[in-house]
Amino acid sequence: MILSKKVKLEQLKDSKKGHASTYSSRYFAKSVPKYELPEKSMPSNAAYQLVHDELNMDANPALNLATFVTTWMEPEAIQLIKESLHKNFIDHDEYPQTEVIHNRCVNMLARLFNSPEDCTSLGTATPSFSRN
For 52-79, the three-class secondary structure string (H helix, E strand, C coil) is HHHHCCCCCHHHCCCCCCCCCCCHHHHH
CB atoms under 10 Å from CB of 50, counted, come to 19
The pLDDT profile of the chain, 132 residues, written as one tens digit per residue, is: 567 888 888 888 887 878 766 655 666 777 788 888 888 888 898 889 888 888 988 888 888 888 777 888 999 999 999 999 998 888 889 999 989 999 999 999 999 999 998 988 888 877 655 554
Per DSSP, the three-state class of 18 is strand
pTM of the predicted model, to two decimals? 0.61
